[in-house]
Structure 1
Amino acid sequence: MTVPVPPALPGPIDPPARLLMGPGPINADPRVLRAMSAQLVGQYDPAMTGYMAETQELYRAIFATRNDATVLVDGTSRAGIEAAIVSLVRPGDRVLVPVFGRFGHLLAEIAERAMAEVHTIEVPWGQVFPVSVVEEAIERVKPTLLALVQGDTSTTMNQPLDEIGEICARHGVLFYTDTTASLGGNAFEADAWGVDAATAGLQKCLGGPSGSAPITLSERAVAVISSRKKVEAGIREAGDVDAPDFVRSNYFDLGMILDYWGPRRLNHHTEATTMLYGARECARIILEEGRDAVIERHRVAGAAMLAGVQGLGLSVFGDVAHKMNNVVAVEIPSTVVGDAVRASMLSDFGIEIGTSFGPLHGKVWRLGTMGVNARKDAVLQTLAALEAALRRGGASVPAGGGVDAAMDVFGGTEV
């Protein structure tokens, strides 16, 4: 048998210089990339288990929790979402998903794949749910789990969560939230808000590459996971894989993942060492700067970007009062071709901005200010390039309007 040989070996990886100012991923902090180049060690080496314990402690501070069950799921942010839902939801359980953007639909889909009885409520994209609407749905549906996105990048909206946990606790409902797009750049208080499970990813406000999913679980959530684990041995012995307590995933079974991260260090998978280094450094950098200071930096940079696009005469999509700090959706002017402007931004200026999904596809651009890119020079460069690309695309915009408006927000700050 002849083995095919490529006509020519490709050269080494040499990506073009890009300033990633879309909804994510973003440029990883150089310190994170340096940490990820560190030497590998075995997963049971005392140095490695020490790094794991340090990472758990760092993410307790990031999530603002005392939860012992605060770990990483090896995989993208979606891996964390799937692990949480598959492990917490039994087939036939009722799951309520308030949908206000693309990622609410994702939570509903994953819950359906976990064989839950899924109920959804919806508001128009660009809005968030009043607490009273969520409470009424909980009382009507009587779910086992409420699955709710905090910040949905498809719409840029930030759903208030601070009253939801108390409502869930009062009705005996577990409260899970996906904080992939929001954690690190917006307020989040797992314990104070009564969150039972929260997952995230590194590639947005946390300032790293995609590939590791921090997760934190309350004692209530761990009790559900543990109760399923206790009966699994009997289920396996009986071969009853249709039993409700059988977790239909090996890789995403949080019962086994918690044993792997716990004091017994029971083997589950080979730890993604390089990603753990990166996740650890993401959290370390945020806490070194100060968690509240990082959120404030995102707020200022996001406010400057918002003012800048408005200074260019562009309309902003959605309820700005509930916009995430770290991303803004801009309505594409009818006088330009949206994809052509984005292509010009990339090819002429090396700056990437995003479009959106579903009903917003081709109607808005999404501009992000997150992680290491939530800073003055990145915002000003993006606004200056956007002005030029708009002009070349045929739009009439105020000369210097974007940069001037953003500068007024930054004032004398060094953000």
Structure 2
Amino acid sequence: MQPLTLPPRLLMGPGPINCYPQVLSAMSTQLVGQYDPTMTSYMNEVMALYRQVFKTQNQQTFLVDGTSRAGIEAALVSCLEPGDKVLIPIFGRFGHLLAEIAERADAQVHTIEVPWGEVFDPQQIEDAIKRVQPKVLAIVQGDTSTTMLQPLEELGAICRAHDVLFYTDATASIAGNPFETDLWQVDAVSVGLQKCLGGPSGSAPISMSGRFVDVVRKRHHVEAGIRDSHHQDAQGQRIRSNYFDLSMIMDYWGEERLNHHTEAATMLFGSRQCAIELLREGQDAVLKRHQMAGNAMLQGIQAMGLRPYGDLKHKMSNVVGVYIPESVNGEQVRHDLLNLFNIEIGTSFGPLKGKVWRIGTMGYNARQDAVLHTLQSLETALRRAGLVLPAGAGVDAAMAVYAGATETRHD
């Protein structure tokens, strides 16, 4: 058996991305027991770090062991009882994922949709809330399938006004786009590491407000047979998953340290380092770095004569959709980028299958050299495919973005 020998890929798709080297180093750390005081102290530290990442005072902020989908499922199955109404605004593939998970929890799922490449106006969502009267509003912030970023700033106040819980999946957007848990009155948010946080898939940081925790705890009391008249009237039902039961996970991370699972220590070490890298650089600085890299990539794509996808006013900073020129084979171009230049960009699916590439600038890869190398390599691959392009225009445009930023700083 041979040791791992992976090619040196530059991952410039919609995620996963190359990890920060410090994260990989942290994940090589030897283990201790799950109740060792050193281990539990690091668990406490991780909770404190992610309160800063999420910009929240929520006590219940910790990791769900599993990919970002584990965090989504934990949030939804822990708060939704069979028959509960949930409203899910869908503007891409991952809205459909929220709907599927909610359906599996036997919730009454109500959806509204806008065409891919667009986002919702808050009034559309409030109108639907008034009509449906859901228990939960569940929405994605950034959907990499369409590269769109849904504005959330007004939704928390709307939900509070109508006594609705507000959950969002911010996996693809956190750290690369603004996110304010407390300011926006978000009741629950879950994310993954493999996008702008610069880590591997496999851990799902989550944060819950007191309102959300109360709902989850009441379901746990029902399960334990502690039923008061309110619970009985509501005919509360037990959380259908043991692994994703957030009330039990809260007790595991809390002072009680009640055994629920064995914490994925290596992922905890990696998650901790992702937060440290973000906070060490500074959240505002990381946002600006993603905005700079995303704008440089966008300007480069446009200068090459390629057409970006979707409503650019609402584009995520960390990924851009690019229409595949009709005269070229999109998969052949991706093949050449991967096998000749060791660069991976994304394809698409659903209504965009075969029509759009998705190019990311996330985490460790949201940097000038990665942007320039990708643009130059894409230009070469497109020339090999027979497309006539203005020589060097993409790289020149991207360099102008960075040069302008440098001049502004000097000024």
For residue 3 of structure 1, what is the aligned residue in structure 2?
A: none
Separation (CA, whole Å) in 2 of partners of 1:245 and 1:402 = 57
Q: Are 1:349 and 2:341 matched, yes or no?
A: yes
Matches within 5 A, 1:299-338: 299-338=291-330
Q: Does structure 1 conserve the Cα–Cα contact (< 8 Å) formed by 2:85 and 2:108?
A: yes
Partner of 1:207: 198
Q: How is 1:255-274 mapped onto 2 (pairs within 5 angstroms)?
A: 255-274=247-266
Deviations 1:35-71 (A, max 9, x none): 0001101110000001000000110000000000001
> Aligned equivalents of 1:117 and 1:217: distance in 2?
22
Measure, in 1, the Cα distance between the counterparts of 2:78 and 2:237. 9
Whether the 8 Å CA contact 1:88–1:225 is kept in 2: the answer is: yes
* Mapping for residues 387-398 of structure 1, pairs under 5 Å: 387-398=379-390
CA distance in 2, matches of 1:111, 1:92: 10
Contact 2:304 2:389 in 1 (8 A): yes
The answer to whether residue 46 in structure 2 is matched with residue 55 in structure 1 is yes
Written as runs of structure 1 = structure 2, the 5 A alignment for 1:66-215 is 66-215=57-206
Distance 1:257 1:323 in 2: 35
The alignment covers a number of residue pairs equal to 401
CA–CA distance in structure 1, aligned partners of residues 283 and 333 of structure 2: 35
2:232 is aligned to: none
Residue 25, structure 1, aligned to residue 11, structure 2 = no
Q: Does 1:380 align with 2:372?
A: yes
1:235, 1:246 within 8 Å by CA — same for their partners in 2?
no
**Residue 359 of structure 1: aligned partner:** 351
Letter in 2 for 1:281: Q
* Cα deviation 1:70-126 (Å, max 9, x = unaligned): 010000000000000000111100000000000000000000000000000000000
Q: Is the 1:36–1:274 contact (alpha carbons within 8 Å) kept by the matching residues of 2?
A: yes
Letter in 2 for 1:377: D
Helix, strand or coil: the match of 2:219?
helix
- Corresponding residue to 2:239 among 230, 247, 253: 247
- Measure the CA separation in 2 of the matches of 1:408 and 1:89: 50
Secondary structure at 2:111's aligned position in 1?
strand
Instruction: Read off the aligned partner of 2:313 and give its amino acid letter.
Output: A
Using a 3 Å threshold, how does the CA distance of structure 1 residues 176 and 385 change in structure 2: closer, same or farther? same
Aligned to 1:6: none
Deviation at 1:413, TM superposition (A): 5.0
Q: Does 1:34 align with 2:25?
A: yes
CA RMSD of aligned residues (A): 1.4
Aligned-partner Cα distance in 2 for 1:39–1:412: 45
Give the AA of the match of 2:28.
S
Alpha carbons 2:345, 2:357 under 8 Å: kept: yes
Report what 1:227 is aligned to: 218
- Report the Cα distance in structure 1 between the residues aligned to 2:103 and 2:226, rounded to whole angstroms: 22
Q: Report the CA distance between 1:245 and its aligned residue.
A: 2.1
- The residue that corresponds to 2:231 in the other structure is none
Q: Summarize deviations over 1:6-38 as a string: whole Å, max 9, x none.
A: xxxx31111111000000000011100000001
Aligned to 2:331: 339
**Aligned 8 A contact 1:185 1:370 in 2:** yes
Q: Distance in 2 between matches of 1:357 and 1:229?
A: 39
Shift of 1:412: 5.8
Q: Is the 8 A contact 2:67 2:201 kept in 1?
A: yes
Q: 222-231 or 275-284: which moved more?
A: 222-231
Q: What is the CA-CA distance between 1:235 and the residue it aligns to? A: 8.3
1:107 is matched by which residue type in structure 2?
A: L
> What is the DSSP-based 3-state SS (H/G/I as helix, E as strand, rest coil) of the residue aligned with 2:137?
strand
C-alpha separation in 2, matches of 1:389 and 1:404 = 17
1:318-376 residue CA offsets vs partner (Å, 9 max, x unmatched): 00000000000000000100000000000000000001120001100000000000000
Q: Which letter maps to 2:212?
A: A
Superposition TM-score, scaled by structure 1 size: 0.95
User: Is the Cα–Cα contact under 8 Å of residues 222 and 236 in structure 2 kept in the other structure?
Assistant: no
Q: Take 2:294 and 2:252, find their aligned partners in 1: how far apart are those partners?
A: 39
Change (3 A) 1:412 1:41: farther
Give the aligned residue type for 2:10. Answer: L
- Cα shift at 1:234: 1.7
Alignment-derived partner of residue 240 in structure 1: none
How far the C-alpha of 1:312 sits from its partner, in A, is: 0.6
Q: 1:24 to 1:45 in 2, by over 3 A?
A: same
8 Å CA contact 1:177–1:198 kept in 2: the answer is yes
